[in-house]
Amino acid sequence: MALNAFARAFLSVPDPIAFRIFGLEIRWYAICIVVGMIGAVLIMMKRTPLYGISPADKVLDFVLWVIPVGVVGARLYYCLFEWDRYKGDPISILYIHQGGLAIHGGLIFGIITAIILVRRWKQSPLAWLDLAAPGIAIGQAIGRWGNYFNSEAHGTETTLPWAIEVNGQMVHPTFLYESIWCLLLCIGLCIFEKKRKKRFNGQIILLYAIFYSIERFFVEGLRTDSLWIGSLRQAQVISVCIVICCGAGYFFLKKRSEKKAEEAAKAAEAEAPEAAEEKTAEENIEAPAETAESATEAEE
C-alpha cells in the first residue's frame, strides 16, 4: 500500500502542457524529446576519444543530419500504420507535439542516413553507429517520459502497486519499464566499451539492437496502443526480426574479427624467424670486424 501511495504521488495524472508563451503551448512531450536528444549528443561527444574522432564537434555535424531525419522517419512510420486516423485530416501529421513517434521508424531512417553520411566522410559507418548506440539508449530513456505526460503508450489494467492512473484506470506504466531498461542498457554498453571488451566495429550497436528488442518484445505485449500487422503486433514482429538478424550479424562480424586476428598473428610469427635470421647475419658480419680490431690492438 505504501508503494502504491508513493506511485500515485510521484506519477500522478499529469498535465501535458508545461507552460505557455504568447499563447503557444509548450508540451512536456516536446521537452522530453529535446532533452533526450541533448543527452544523446553529450554522451557521444564524451566518448569520441575511444574512437579517435577529432574534433568532437564532428558529432554535431553527424547529429544535425541523423536526428532530424530520424524524427521525420519515426513520425512517417507511425502515421503509415495509423493511416485511417490521419487520412481524413493529413495536416494533423504535422502535429508531432501531440505524440505519435515510432522508434523503429526513427532507427531505420536514422541508421540509413548515418551510413550514407559517414561513407561520404570515408569513415567506418559501423564505428560511428557504435559511438551512437549508448546515446540512442539514453535518448529513449528520457524521451519515453513524454508518453507519460501525454498519457499514452501505457499498458493494460493492473493491480500492481506501481500502476499509474490513465482515464480513471490503473494501468502498467510501460513507458517507465522501457525508460529504466534503456537507462541500464546505456550504462551497460558504456561499461562494456570502457573495459576494452569491444572487439570489432559494429559490436556495440548490435548489442544495443538485440537487448533493446528483447525488452520491447515483452513490454509491447502489455501495451494497449500497439501498431498492428494483421493480427500481429508490429513492434513484436520487428523485434524478433531484429534479434535474429543482429544475432547473425554479431556472429559473422565476431568470426571475421577472430579470423583477421589469427591471420595477423600468423604473419607476425612468420616475420619473427626472418627477423631473427637477419639479426644473426648482422652479428656474424660485425663479429669478424671486431676480431680484426682486437688483433690490431694486440699487435700494437
Q: Could you please report the per-residue DSSP string of 190-244?
A: HHHHHTT---STTHHHHHHHHHHHHHHHHHHTTBSS--EETTEEHHHHHHHHHHH
- Cell numbers for 152, please give them: 499514452
Q: Count of residues for the chain?
A: 300
Burial class (CB in 10 A: 0-12, 13-18, 19+), 158: middle
Strands 228-229 and 232-233: antiparallel
pLDDT in tens, the chain (300 residues): 555 555 565 678 889 999 999 888 889 999 999 999 999 999 999 999 888 887 777 899 999 999 999 999 999 999 988 888 888 888 988 888 777 889 999 999 999 999 999 999 999 999 999 999 999 999 999 999 999 999 998 999 999 999 999 988 999 999 999 999 999 999 999 999 988 778 899 999 999 999 999 999 999 999 998 888 888 999 999 999 999 999 999 999 999 999 988 888 888 888 776 555 565 655 565 555 554 454 445 444
- Cell numbers for 33, please give them: 524529446
Residue 37: CB atoms within 10 Å: 20
3-state SS of 254-296 is HHHHHHHHHHHHHHHHHHHHHHHHHHHHHHHHHHHHHHHHHHH
Listed residue (249, 272, 268) closest to 260, CA to CA: 268
- Three-state SS for 44? helix
- Cell numbers for 21, please give them: 508563451
Whole-angstrom CA distances from 126 to 133, 192, 212, 239, 252 are 10, 17, 18, 20, 14
pTM > 0.85: no
Q: Residue 180 belongs to what H/E stretch?
A: helix 174-194
As a whole number of angstroms, the distance between CA 269 and CA 263 comes to 10
- Predicted local distance difference test score (pLDDT) of residue 98: 72
- 89 DSSP 8-state letter: -
Strands 17-21 and 169-171: unpaired
